Amino acid sequence: MDESFGPEYVRPAQPDCPRCGCCTAALCEKGRHSIMRCNGHVDDEHREMVGGCPCSAETTRHTAAWRAAQVRVTRMAHEMPVDQAAEDLLRALAKGPAEADDEVFRQLKFRGLAQLVHGIPAITPLGHTYLASKDDVRAPAAVQVLDVDKKTRTARVEVAPWRPDEPVTVLLDQLVTDTGLDVDALPGLWLAADANCHADHADKLVLTGFRQAAPLPQGWMDTSGGDVE
């Protein structure tokens, strides 16, 4: 006699992501806002399958991984730069195909600054970021946190010496890690950060080293037109 314990529960299939073909839409939504990307949110069995997902890749603008990579490479350029031979090769590759010493090229490839394209050494987008950081002038800047989004783990900030009326998106975890402050204490707060304020676009503006700023002078933000005592 067969015994029945009711219908077997089957979890409804989640809709596929329309952009990549390797993940569900829910996974890509999570991966896009995580530095672990999509492959950091699946089990071992599926990690290889989603490992190259473009929706969360550090080469795709505005993903969490992309934002983290901009910061990482900018800091690398100033704190742990490649040696002069590697920088010379990177600058040559930025202009087009160039002869590359294997050992020097491996140094660039290991750091994600160069790659082989059809067997030919080529600079990567992060390589361009590295060179821009080496050439840019970076200086302390006053930054105000406008608001935070806990779901996407991002914050909008205004950079006073850049374009005070154009918010810039940064990683919320970067703010918390750099400053040691609680997330709920950030909105409205003035901070200091190192910035390349000559950047011509928000995507090229990279903020590093967030820290608590000294108190602003009394009346600094007064727009009434009266004299400040």
What are the helix (H) ranges across 34-63? Answer: 44-50
Q: How many CB atoms lie within 10 A of CB 15?
A: 9
pLDDT at 13: 66
Query: 3-class SS at 188?
Result: coil
**pLDDT by 10s per residue, the chain, length 229:** 455 555 554 445 678 899 898 899 999 999 999 999 999 888 888 888 888 899 999 999 999 999 999 999 999 999 999 999 999 999 999 999 999 999 999 999 999 999 999 999 999 999 999 999 999 999 999 999 999 999 999 999 999 999 989 999 999 999 999 999 999 999 999 999 999 999 999 999 999 999 998 765 666 555 454 444 4
As a whole number of angstroms, the distance between CA 217 and CA 205 comes to 27
CA dihedral 54, 56, 58, 63 (to 10 degrees): 120
Tokens of 2: 């067969």
Q: Which pTM value belongs to this model?
A: 0.85
As a whole number of angstroms, the distance between CA 136 and CA 155 comes to 24
pLDDT at 220: 53
Q: Are 89 and 97 in contact (CB under 8 A)?
A: no
Vertex 159 angle, CA 158 and 162, to 5°: 125
Cβ neighbours of residue 149 under 8 Å, at least 6 residues apart?
Answer: 155, 156, 172
Cβ neighbours of residue 202 under 8 Å, at least 6 residues apart?
Answer: 166, 168, 169
Cβ neighbours of residue 188 under 8 Å, at least 6 residues apart?
Answer: 144, 145, 146
pLDDT at 216: 58
Region of residue 103 (left: phi > 0; alpha: psi -120 to 50; beta: else): alpha
What does the DSSP 8-state code read for residue 202?
Answer: G
Q: How many CB atoms lie within 10 A of CB 103?
A: 9
pLDDT at 14: 78
Domain chopping of the chain, boundaries? 65-135, 139-212
